[in-house]
Structure 1
């Protein structure tokens, strides 16, 4: 049950708060096709990562290392650690902050958003097992809220909500898929945790069912909306005047759950000081984003592009290590996501080229931190 909660927390993240609106803005009701395609793609992706996690250690970077060697694994680790996690954490936090502020009728969304990852960092510093137990409760409450919201709004769905179906053309479905990929990219984060808990296959099956029901329900009930807070509207119809605190709770749960899992998985890639490194990266990115007023859509697309590259690398390893046709099919489909990313494709490409230099810098920083920590310990012993 703990692993299922971690999986659901990673895949069913804060993206459901805003991605329906961003996808509809990109492709109109035709974004439903992107939702359906990515749900179908989730099955071979999830199965491939589960089978890899059962046979090999080290998460996606470890799978790639086993299949192709250290040189290929380095950029994969940095795609996830340097880009996927920080941009995903910040994007999710800002979405959660926006919803909580909307639900409370005021407040600074950015300040609220910063508090959410702070709580997730504290949970992970307390220990993975502690945060996993908390996530079982959080995911259960979240699923109930979403089911109630969907059930209450399905009767209000009308044919007119889907007209015109593709106002921006059919290619726009591909652009919608890029931003939506963020909502389906938790498998590579959860894959880093598979060896911490038992029975990953059962957890995968449960997660696929939960995600399919909730995502399709949200996609259908929000297809015709132009609201920036579509889930708030759904919960408003379901709970009436009492919806505001419910929306605040749902937003906080969604955001915390996803950030918690991404930090837990990313910290393992960073080694001894992985979690502290992520804290620094997220802090710097937050300062730059607020200073330059970077759009939320841009943050989501950068994270999606990097995570698509990570997923594609993991699937390539699955093709080699598992001799899996389903993994080969999933790999072919996944590579279409970066193809629609435009100039953002430069992000994983630049990191891939710079990976050796980044690794050298990381080793030097880690050595200095360790040396200073050792000096502090020795000084403490001598003074006592």
Structure 2
């Protein structure tokens, strides 16, 4: 049966993809890298996010496809480029959703006193099962979680704000420009998600409207959380510390609920997008054709979903820490984003839409450079992609 997302579900999928579990730990990591000047990294990436999000929404509306950014890149630069970009995204998703599940699991395990790895595996399994049940089912669940999440983040900011102190903003930039750049490199993890939604463009009724609403909500939440965290805490600290300042002992259970909502929302969107990308890649020869079943818009690509689950299980076994997984994911998705907006400069009509794409490309290149040595990960995936595509043609 064909399934489509309504306006609320489409917006919730977008918000869930961008407002990931990194929100619980990224303000802390950014402040550790740059001090109060990490706010500049947040603002800079919000400036980047707007033209990127608008460009992807325009591409999704004009060229709806489960192939998402890979399909757009193929239209602009040919099949080989599409194959590489597809592998960047498909390879990044297992890394990213495991990192996200680990972030969420920290808070759940701390509150309930259970094993962290078990919690992470449970969150991942729940998201895969929700996607197997169909996009509309996961979309309804996403709406509930996103509304809950917004309420919880607003509570954290409003209750903690009265404890703010201007003294916490000095010294403003203890690590200089290098610290801001380092903060931007890890914060990119908080701004990815727009590219994931392009894979659902054929199933989101009005992707442009959903994108604009999501942009507004994200800008308000990110800036308020980053500014209030520094003003209140004056040191690198997790979201739970902000909640403790505002509401005291209830912070633990509330943070746990926020962690579940953030984690499930993000991994749900990425799994949905990657599963459809895998089916599209199988259709064009970037993956074995067997994985292409269920790639028609409105259907569930079970075989691609199963492959994604298997790859996620393998990543769970890697001895990589959270920071490494998040930065590797950011590098891959920064590469995907840059390729997608660069493609838009060739396939969108001249005028405002193409000018927005040009601005998005310039800004994305800056964000890509901030990923530094972690660009070795998309480079390695490029090699795998080209070898796999060559084998398929033989």
Same fold per superposition (TM over 0.5): yes
Tell me the alpha carbon deviations over residues 164-216 of structure 1, each in whole angstroms, 9 at most, x when there is no partner.
Answer: 11111212211111110111010000111122021111111110111011100
Q: Which residue in 2 is equivalent to 1:248?
A: 256
What corresponds to 1:367 in structure 2?
none
- Return closer, same or farther for 1:362/1:18 CA change in 2, 3 Å cut-off: farther
2:82 to 63, 67, 73: 73
Separation (CA, whole Å) in 2 of partners of 1:362 and 1:116: 34
Tell me which residue corresponds to 2:198: 191
Match of 2:69 in 1: 60
Give me the TM-score of the superposition, normalised by structure 2: 0.87
Question: CA offset at residue 27 of structure 1?
Answer: 1.0
Partner of 2:218: 211
Matches within 5 A, 1:30-69: 30-58=37-65, 59-69=68-78
Identify the residue that residue 260 of structure 1 maps to in structure 2: 268
Question: SS in structure 1 opposite 2:317?
Answer: helix
Offset, 1:236: 2.2
Match of 1:122 in 2: 129
Greater fraction of residues in helix: 1
Tell me the equivalent position of 1:175: 182
- In structure 2, the residue matched to 1:350 is 380
After superposition, where does 1:76-225 map in structure 2 within 5 Å?
Answer: 76-82=85-91, 84-104=92-112, 106-223=113-230, 224-225=233-234
User: 1:253-332 residue pairs with structure 2 within 5 A?
Assistant: 253-271=261-279, 272=292, 273-288=303-318, 292=319, 294-322=320-348, 323=350, 324-332=354-362
Number of equivalent positions: 357
CA contact (8 A) 1:309 1:348 kept: yes
User: Shift of the alpha carbon at 1:239?
Assistant: 3.1
Give distance in 2, aligned partners of 1:241 and 1:99. Answer: 14
* SS at 1:346 equivalent: helix
Look up the match of 1:375: none
Task: Verify the 8 A CA contact 2:19 2:218 in the aligned structure 1.
Answer: yes
Structure 1 stretches of 5 or more lacking a match?
Answer: 365-384
Tell me whether 90-99 or 233-242 shows the greater mean CA deviation.
233-242
- Provide the rounded CA distance (Å) in 2 between the counterparts of 1:173 and 1:16: 18
Aligned-pair CA distance for 1:351: 2.0
C-alpha contact 1:305 1:337 (8 A) present in aligned 2: no
Unaligned ranges ≥5, structure 2: 1-7, 280-291, 293-302
CA distance in 1, matches of 2:377, 2:176: 27
CA distance in 2, matches of 1:27, 1:171: 8
CA deviations 1:5-62 (Å, max 9, x no partner) are 0000001111101111111111111110000011111111111000000111331111
1:21 and 1:225 in contact (8 A); partners too: no
* Alpha-carbon separation, structure 1, partners of 2:150 and 2:388: 40
Partner SS for 1:335: helix
Conserved 8 A contact 2:55-2:360: no
Q: How far is 1:161 from its partner?
A: 1.4
Cα distance between partner residues in 1 of 2:393 and 2:89: 18
Alignment of 1:1-16 (within 5 A): 1-16=8-23
CA deviations 1:123-176 (Å, max 9, x no partner) are 011111110011111100110111111111122221121121111121221111
Which residue of 1 is the match for residue 300 of structure 2? none
Return the alpha-carbon distance in structure 1 between the equivalents of residues 245 and 108 of structure 2: 17
Q: For the aligned residues, what is the CA RMSD?
A: 1.6
Superposed displacement of residue 362, structure 1 = 7.5
